[in-house]
Amino acid sequence: MRILVVGCGSIGLRHMRNLRALGINDLLGFDTAAGARERAQKDCGARLFDSLDEALNLNPTLALICTPPHLHVSAALQAAAAGCHLFIEKPLANHMEGLDLLAGEVRRRRLITLVGCNMRFHHGPASIKRLLAQGVVGNVISAILDAGQYMPDWHPELDYRNRYSASNEMGGGVVLDGIHEIDYARWLFGEISEVFAYGGKRSTLDIDVEDVADILMKFESGASAMIHIDYIQRAYSRSCKVIGEQGTIVWDINQDLRWYSAAIGQWTTIEAPHGYNINQMYLDEMAHLLECVRQQKPTTLEIEEAICVTRWALRIKKSMSTGEKQVRGVERCAYSQ
């Protein structure tokens, strides 16, 4: 399988290394920055191009779109037109323009697609998903999700002000950048019916985007969730608590997952896999994608469902700016169980 990585920044390089580890030897890369091309060639042994057309002319089977979000749609359309199956990093886009066109092209060409909300592949949320499917806590009433980290600490070797996360024009801001919690809340609890959000630019970070968001979310099932995401917490935080009528599930990324059963009156611990590290979810994500491409079967987050998640993220941003509750429109999104 020949695979093209479009955008060779930190996440593009991570995917290249993981593809190598998964046995992919025919790697192509495209980036407009000479330094990024040099790093990718040196670190991953990929063939690098400064022209996307030239790279696509080599007929890759699959294209990974790892550019800043404001460039995702145009690059994905170009790759889809060349017949490439698609992986698109989160967020899918920072606007709705062109997404229906892209979805139509994907349907017409019967392309396999995956949008990179990698927390679906972390053992924590994946374990919660399995426990809910087993009904261990009964009817879900509410949930609390939290995620945050001080933006300058993400990549200390880089100036955070130059990252897309810090730029509204490039698709940054904690709502779109932190779309993981919005996505996996919907993955766990079903279709969203309404949202209300409060947040904005609160810190002294030199950015022009919101750095904190507090979101209230209601689901068609009747369950609700409170989601907090930020660029500010000095100690990396990511957690989820699910409250059901028959028990509670508690997960913290720095601890083992635990769940309480009212039926037996005790806690059960699900330990993280031995030697687990954060790159494992990215490896699992790529392994899932490769399997789906080879077997021509749907992925866990196809583009049509990711369009729905993007629409909810943009509604959340609108709620933050207007102070108004946002509800689901007439659209009916695909929803993967």
Whether the pLDDT of residue 336 is over 60: the answer is no
Regarding whether 126 and 58 lie in a shared domain, the answer is no
The DSSP 8-state label assigned to residue 85 in this structure reads E
pLDDT score for 157: 86
* 55 in Cβ contact with 79 (< 8 Å): no
- Residue 238: inside a domain, yes or no? yes
Partnered with residue 217 across adjacent β-strands are 195, 225
Mean pLDDT, residues 220-239 taken together: 97
- Residue 260: inside a domain, yes or no? yes
Regarding whether 220 and 180 lie in a shared domain, the answer is yes
Whether the pLDDT of residue 61 is over 70: the answer is yes
pLDDT score for 259: 98
- Residue 294: inside a domain, yes or no? no
Residue 26 belongs to domain with CATH number = 3.40.50.720
Whether the pLDDT of residue 211 is over 60: the answer is yes
- Residue 291: inside a domain, yes or no? no
Separation CA 63–CA 36 (nearest Å): 17
Residue at which a domain ends, from 111, 145, 163: 111
Regarding whether 257 and 154 lie in a shared domain, the answer is yes
Distance from chain centroid for Cα 147: 13
- What 3-state class would DSSP assign to 49? strand
Mean pLDDT, residues 60-74 taken together: 97
CB atoms within 10 A of CB 170: 17
DSSP calls for 197-222 = EEEE--SS-S-SS--EEEEEEEETTS
Handedness of CA 119, 131, 243, 312 (dihedral sign): positive
pLDDT score for 266: 97
Regarding whether 127 and 154 lie in a shared domain, the answer is yes
pLDDT score for 331: 67
Tens of pLDDT, residue by residue over 197-206, are: 999 999 999 9
**pLDDT bucket at 187, cuts 50 / 70 / 90:** very high
Regarding whether 138 and 94 lie in a shared domain, the answer is no
Contacts of 150 (CB under 8 A, 6+ apart): 231, 232, 233, 234
Regarding whether 103 and 48 lie in a shared domain, the answer is yes
- Residue 284: inside a domain, yes or no? no
**pLDDT bucket at 276, cuts 50 / 70 / 90:** confident
Alpha helices in the chain (DSSP H): 10-21, 34-44, 52-56, 72-81, 99-109, 123-134, 174-177, 179-189, 279-295, 303-322
- Residue 270: inside a domain, yes or no? yes
Contacts of 226 (CB under 8 A, 6+ apart): 142, 143, 144, 145, 214, 215, 216, 217
What pTM value is reported for the model?
0.95
Regarding whether 258 and 155 lie in a shared domain, the answer is yes
pLDDT score for 214: 98
pLDDT score for 330: 67
**pLDDT bucket at 329, cuts 50 / 70 / 90:** confident
Regarding whether 134 and 65 lie in a shared domain, the answer is no
Regarding whether 179 and 41 lie in a shared domain, the answer is no
- Residue 292: inside a domain, yes or no? no
Contacts of 333 (CB under 8 A, 6+ apart): 191, 304, 305, 307, 308, 311
pLDDT score for 273: 87
**pLDDT bucket at 155, cuts 50 / 70 / 90:** confident
Residue 234 belongs to domain with CATH number = 3.30.360.10
Regarding whether 178 and 194 lie in a shared domain, the answer is yes
Domain around 89: 2-111
Residue at which a domain ends, from 46, 78, 111: 111
Q: Name the residue among 114, 58, 57 with its Cα closest to residue 85.
A: 114
Whether the pLDDT of residue 337 is over 60: the answer is no
* 61 in Cβ contact with 3 (< 8 Å): yes
* 4 in Cβ contact with 63 (< 8 Å): yes
Whether the pLDDT of residue 332 is over 70: the answer is no
Domain total of the chain? 2
**pLDDT bucket at 115, cuts 50 / 70 / 90:** very high
Regarding whether 107 and 123 lie in a shared domain, the answer is no
Tally: H helices and E strands in the chain = 10, 15
Tens of pLDDT, residue by residue over 24-35, are: 999 999 999 999
Q: Return the residue matching tokens 């028990």.
A: 247
Whether the pLDDT of residue 335 is over 60: the answer is no
* β pairing state of 140-148 and 224-230: parallel
Regarding whether 323 and 177 lie in a shared domain, the answer is yes
Q: Is the peptide bond before 156 cis (omega within 30 degrees of 0)?
A: no
- What 3-state class would DSSP assign to 171? coil
pLDDT score for 334: 59
Residue at which a domain ends, from 79, 111, 143: 111
- Residue 47: inside a domain, yes or no? yes
- N- to C-terminal Cα distance for the chain? 29
